[in-house]
Structure 1
Amino acid sequence: MEKQFPKGFLWGAAASAPQTEGAALIDGKSPSTWDKWFELEPELFYNGVGPEHTSNTYHMYKEDVHLMKEMSLNSYRTSIAWTRLLPDGETVNPKAVEFYRNYFNEMVANGVEPIINLFHFDMPWWLMEKGGWEARESVDKFAYYAKVAFEQFGDIVKKWATFNEPLVHIECGYMGDAHYPKVHDFKRAIQVAYHTLLAHAKAVEAFKEVGIEDGEIGIILNLSPAYAKSEEEADQAAAFHADLFYIRSFLDTVVKGYFPEELIAILKEHQLTPVVEEGDRQIFEDNTVDFLGVNYYQPLRVQAPLPQEFPAKGVGYFSRYYDWPDKVINPHRGWEIYEQGIYDIAMRVKEDYHNIKWFISENGMGVSEEERFFDENGQVQDDYRIEFVTNHLTKLHQAIEDGSNCFGYHMWTFLDCWSWLNAYKNRYGYYRVDLDDAFKRTAKKSSHWMKELSETNRLVIPD
């Protein structure tokens, strides 16, 4: 069976500056929260591996782009390090400008369209010391950084995104311990969310002011559809609230230009309303996105919450996790594999969000100890990844056939990269990175499979 994708469909991969570049504190770059956190508490990082070198792309970008061309990828998403471009938040670092211009031009020269994101969880330490996203100052600082990036690279890069998965730095940093500053405070998390979304809108405003010819700007959201345990009213209410906090709070705001009324009412009822300023609402209304990036890995399954004290101390007041007994699990990462979710999200964007242009900006399968799957030539035989992508692409193709306005698919990631607190425990790439052999890149079986798919624009499904 064969499934043809639309002409001009983007086939590529995704990554981020802090997870690939390395060169963490050289050539003028200042520390991010990850650099400083590793300095403060290295024992929290898997195998004691921090962000200093990651995948060494800062020094090996030409080789990486050459491999992208060999794979016949026509696009690639990565990010700019705020701390490299504006080490003190104000002064442009000429070495950063040189690096990124060379990197992006190298992509274009090799037929790879760069899609560039501005923030991938890497808050500058100088701004974190002032309160990070809790501080209103962060909004204008981010807008200025965005403007500088657009001015320096807008002649090369036409597709831009403001944030990658803003939910993650909000939830993991202010409702958990997985990101710095490890705060557990729902009200502070709401304020961080508000400033993040306002910073996004102000960056879109800066994009319009700079006026990049043929330019488009969007945002990358992790959208996990919420499925209720049952048809019972309490379970359905749990799914509604999970969707409201995790999806609509972002999607309604960036696509429609306003916060959901139901969310505003809940925040008011629970004394969680963030501090706002006059004129903010107009900024949101005037600066909606041109496209969406959708990161999809797993669904969110929920059920009615247990009784809790008022006011709410977290989203758990409204819904709690449900462990679906029939789930299929990636045993290495512990995440559910559910291809139907990619179709459901596609239809949601079509039906509820003006059928806005969008693409799969991340989808992938992390596997530990991939050396177990070496063949006699030392190549990883990652048939499990090929099966994972095939099954998801099948559902994505169905969504496109049913009218969803999807223009591309990017897998996380092109080559194995450093992952926050987990270093290289789980590998995701089309290419293996050998940390013990000068970061040598070696193609996995999936890279050859994707090369054929990208060249033919056609998914072949075995009978």
Structure 2
Amino acid sequence: MASVSMPTDFLWGVAVAGHQIDGGDTTSDTSFLENVEPTVFVEPSGAACGSWEHWPEDLDLAAGLGLNAYRFSVEWCRIEPDRGVIDESALDHYEAIIDGCLERGLAPVVTFSHFTAPHWFACRGSWLAPEAAADFARFCDLVMERLGDRIAIAVTLNEPNLQRQLAGGFLPPQAWEGHAVTLDAASKAAGVERYRAGNVQRLDELELFEDAFERAHVAAREAIKARRPDLPVGLSLAVADEFALPGGEAARDKVREECYGRWLRLAEDDDFVGVQNYERILYGPEGRVATHPGQQEVEPLSLAGAVSYCHEVSGVPVLVSEHGMNTEDDEARCAFLTAALAGLDQAIADGVPVLGYCHWSLLDNYEWIFAFGPKFGLHAVDRVTLDRSAKRSAAVFAAEVARRSSQVARR
């Protein structure tokens, strides 16, 4: 930690992901899976939010909220559309985004893999291929060589534990059946024995993917640090606030170990751990207290619970790399944001070292197999014109940030 240049200012930002906002992606595993028949995806991502062209406007929106950080992903499939073939124009694109961030006072928080990977990578078995970790490390080195001098924080992998968490009751059985059918259809369409992807997995391969993600993270961290030892590096985890009712401690602890144990132990060697929290899960003596599969137990204080737990176990600082609420009711989002940030304030006051908070998301975007149904954005996006329009929650978030920033300035 002594050699790492950690951020001195609290990072207030928004988080986005390339495939979910860019549009026009034709070279990724996810775009291929969206378009096979049958597919578990409700619809293809298509133009998404058009951010490949509209990124300056998106950065202006973030800066206009008074933020000082912008989390985004560099898309491997754009930079290396075929194995060993580098698209310099894609690197130019990401360099422009990073420079655009810096010009607007936004610290670039860069995710090297936000679920998607190149189609060629998936055809070789994705992360399960023997050479996958080396391929990913090579990609990270390529990005660092060109862009690494201006990155503020590096996130290697986004939610490598998500599928394990979803298997605990967030997705109904038919969704997992849909995953398997989609992968079979993709294997046939691509003419390969085993087409695989990080964000569409088979239940019987969860542990294999987790082992592979662990190898990939370690290799990526080494490649990034080789270029810039002072750059803070970590991974981001999907973390529910696992809450034990009287007698539910054993059931809660079992789930914690299954979903987070290996990752928080892995994070002990990182500079921080990214926490992505959206819900609280209750446990009683008989296990998880029943809610409808996929339903969120929305509780603003779940954020404080999640960051406190992750720091306690890992011993490293926390970056809230995602947090938000899926709702069409923006007034509910406003109330949720205010209460959640107050809870985070208390966790920080209690001694949890938190580097920053990135809200998910700047825009209503493409939410994977659920397509454009979920609404997490501070801004709505017209599906036809791609025009952005601010919701009231954008102003509420800006006000919460401004109030805290002014308090710090007065100290």
TM interval, shorter chain, is 0.7 to 0.9
Q: Which residue of 1 aligns with 2:190?
A: none
Summarize the Cα distance change of 1:419–1:399 in structure 2 as closer, same or farther, 3 Å threshold.
same
Summarize the Cα distance change of 1:140–1:303 in structure 2 as closer, same or farther, 3 Å threshold.
farther
Q: Which residue of 1 aligns with 2:360?
A: 412
- Say which SS state the counterpart of residue 13 (structure 1) adopts: strand
Measure the CA separation in 2 of the matches of 1:185 and 1:428. Answer: 27
Q: Which residue of 2 aligns with 1:360?
A: 320
> What is the CA-CA distance between 1:64 and the residue it aligns to?
1.1
Summarize the Cα distance change of 1:85–1:183 in structure 2 as closer, same or farther, 3 Å threshold.
closer
> Among 36, 39, 45, which residue is 1:40 paired with?
36
- Confirm or deny: 8 A CA contact 2:163 2:206 kept in the other structure: no
- Say which SS state the counterpart of residue 161 (structure 2) adopts: helix
- Confirm or deny: 8 A CA contact 1:170 1:192 kept in the other structure: no
Give the alignment's Cα RMSD to 1 decimal: 2.7
Q: Which residue of 1 aligns with 2:186?
A: none
Q: Which residue of 2 aligns with 1:309?
A: none
Summarize the Cα distance change of 1:178–1:366 in structure 2 as closer, same or farther, 3 Å threshold.
farther
Q: TM-score normalized by structure 2?
A: 0.84
Measure the CA separation in 2 of the matches of 1:228 and 1:82. Answer: 40
Q: Which residue of 1 aligns with 2:210?
A: 193
Q: Alpha-carbon deviations, 1:28-48, whole Å to 9, x = none?
A: xx2x221111221376433x3
Measure the CA separation in 2 of the matches of 1:9 and 1:82. Answer: 29
Measure the CA separation in 2 of the matches of 1:148 and 1:170. Answer: 30
- Say which SS state the counterpart of residue 93 (structure 2) adopts: helix
Q: Which residue of 2 aligns with 1:315?
A: none
The one-letter amino acid of 1:41's match is E
Summarize the Cα distance change of 1:390–1:152 in structure 2 as closer, same or farther, 3 Å threshold.
same
Q: TM-score normalized by structure 1?
A: 0.75
Aligned pairs for 1:118-267 (under 5 A) are: 118-169=112-163, 176-177=176-177, 181=183, 184-186=202-204, 188-211=205-228, 214-228=230-244, 230-231=246-247, 235-255=248-268
- Say which SS state the counterpart of residue 149 (structure 2) adopts: coil
- Confirm or deny: 8 A CA contact 1:303 1:321 kept in the other structure: yes
Segments of structure 2 that go 5 or more residues without pairing to the other structure are 1-6, 184-199
- Say which SS state the counterpart of residue 117 (structure 2) adopts: coil
The one-letter amino acid of 1:348's match is Y
The one-letter amino acid of 1:191's match is L
The one-letter amino acid of 1:19's match is Q
Does 2:19 align with 1:18? yes
> What is the CA-CA distance between 1:427 and the residue it aligns to?
1.4
Measure the CA separation in 1 of the matches of 2:395 and 2:8. Answer: 21
Summarize the Cα distance change of 1:170–1:136 in structure 2 as closer, same or farther, 3 Å threshold.
farther
Q: Alpha-carbon deviations, 1:41-60, whole Å to 9, x = none?
A: 376433x3x12211110000
Measure the CA separation in 1 of the matches of 2:61 and 2:40. Answer: 33
> What is the CA-CA distance between 1:292 and the residue it aligns to?
1.5
Summarize the Cα distance change of 1:199–1:414 in structure 2 as closer, same or farther, 3 Å threshold.
same
> What is the CA-CA distance between 1:69 and the residue it aligns to?
1.6
> What is the CA-CA distance between 1:13 and the residue it aligns to?
0.8
Measure the CA separation in 2 of the matches of 1:346 and 1:291. Answer: 11
Measure the CA separation in 2 of the matches of 1:14 and 1:43. Answer: 27
Does 2:306 align with 1:345? yes
Does 2:282 align with 1:301? yes
Aligned pairs for 1:67-86 (under 5 A) are: 67-86=61-80
- Higher helix proportion (structure 1 or 2): 2
Measure the CA separation in 1 of the matches of 2:121 and 2:63. Answer: 38
Q: Alpha-carbon deviations, 1:413-441, whole Å to 9, x = none?
A: 011111112222121111110112x2001
> What is the CA-CA distance between 1:158 and the residue it aligns to?
2.5
- Confirm or deny: 8 A CA contact 1:201 1:254 kept in the other structure: no
> Among 251, 263, 272, which residue is 1:291 paired with?
272
Q: Alpha-carbon deviations, 1:222-268, whole Å to 9, x = none?
A: 1123334541xxx543222211110112111222xxxxxxxxxxxxx
Q: Which residue of 2 aligns with 1:377?
A: none
Aligned pairs for 1:313-332 (under 5 A) are: 321-323=288-290
Measure the CA separation in 2 of the matches of 1:420 and 1:127. Answer: 19
Q: Alpha-carbon deviations, 1:188-234, whole Å to 9, x = none?
A: 3212101101100110011121126x421111111123334541xxx
Summarize the Cα distance change of 1:420–1:185 in structure 2 as closer, same or farther, 3 Å threshold.
closer
- Confirm or deny: 8 A CA contact 2:337 2:397 kept in the other structure: no
> What is the CA-CA distance between 1:458 and the residue it aligns to?
5.7
- Confirm or deny: 8 A CA contact 2:112 2:140 kept in the other structure: yes
- Say which SS state the counterpart of residue 116 (structure 1) adopts: strand
- Confirm or deny: 8 A CA contact 1:55 1:417 kept in the other structure: yes
Does 2:400 align with 1:439? no
Does 2:53 align with 1:59? yes
- Confirm or deny: 8 A CA contact 1:177 1:183 kept in the other structure: no
- Say which SS state the counterpart of residue 335 (structure 1) adopts: coil
- Confirm or deny: 8 A CA contact 1:171 1:189 kept in the other structure: no
> What is the CA-CA distance between 1:443 and the residue it aligns to?
1.0
> What is the CA-CA distance between 1:170 and the residue it aligns to?
5.8
Does 2:388 align with 1:456? no
Summarize the Cα distance change of 1:178–1:147 in structure 2 as closer, same or farther, 3 Å threshold.
farther
- Confirm or deny: 8 A CA contact 2:134 2:219 kept in the other structure: yes
Measure the CA separation in 2 of the matches of 1:446 and 1:359. Answer: 22
Summarize the Cα distance change of 1:251–1:228 in structure 2 as closer, same or farther, 3 Å threshold.
same
Q: Which residue of 2 aligns with 1:336?
A: 297
> What is the CA-CA distance between 1:386 and the residue it aligns to?
1.1
The one-letter amino acid of 1:451's match is A
Measure the CA separation in 2 of the matches of 1:178 and 1:111. Answer: 43
The one-letter amino acid of 1:297's match is Y
